[in-house]
Chain A
């Protein structure tokens, strides 16, 4: 039973354009959502997060949107850069839990 779903395995965009990465979840008890970025042969690194009491959080070129009624969140990268090429993981956690649940990941390729 996959609680966090990243249904598109890959995305390819041109440098300078917007990248939109989507994530759906099934557990309505999730309170906090995080995005991690992973380069080959490295561990994941934290990118941005959002609390369930918000619908948007912005950090530089990265913005995460949360639609609780649809159980959907998205990560927008504007403008996309070649260095953004990586695998992006969506993750969610329930308040008070210590178990962070990850999606399968999505490979983003930004072409120069």
Chain B
């Protein structure tokens, strides 16, 4: 079982470049989300989606765009990368209600030079 798959695992960008972090889940989960993990900051919610066609902002949405055209995929777009976006990014999904547990991908380590 694949679960939540994130690609790429590692990426180095130059300031101002754009890129898309891919996330796919094969569990038919309606809810998907993106978190970033920074040293001493824990996990912070960037954007989330409760179903195809529906997205909403989390705690730190600036500089990131998302869309949800299918149940399976939830890509995260950096339109103009900045050094402050150097982080580890995790995609997560869950089934059912608000209290259900999240299933996380293995993460994407992004460095912006």
Contacts and interface: CB of A to CB of B under 8 A. Distances in A.
B40 to A, nearest CB: 6
Contacts of A49: 99, 101
Contacts of A97: 98
Contacts of B101: 34, 46, 49
A89 B41 CA distance: 11
B45 interface: yes
Contacts of B90: 43-44
Contact of B42 (A42, A45, A99, A103): A103
A72 interface: no
Interface string B43-57: 111001010000010
Interface string B21-54: 0000000000101010000111111001010000
A29 interface: no
Q: Is the interface of B mostly helix, strand, loop or mixed?
A: strand
B64 to A, nearest CB: 15
B43 A44 contact: yes
A60 interface: no
Interface stretch (B11-19, B72-80, B103-111): B103-111
A25 interface: no
Contacts of A32: 98-99
A99 B105 CA distance: 18
A104 B41 contact: yes
Interface in A47-90: 49, 51, 89
A15 interface: no
Contacts of B31: 98
Contact of B106 (A43, A91, A93, A104): A43
18 contacts: A32-B98, A42-B106, A42-B107, A43-B90, A43-B105, A45-B104, A49-B99, A93-B98, A95-B98, A95-B99, A96-B98, A98-B98, A100-B33, A101-B59, A102-B35, A102-B43, A103-B42, A104-B42
Interface of A: 4, 6, 31-32, 34, 36, 41-46, 49, 51, 89, 91, 93, 95-105
Listed from nearest, the 4 A-B pairs whose CB atoms lie closest are: A43-B104, A46-B101, A104-B42, A102-B43
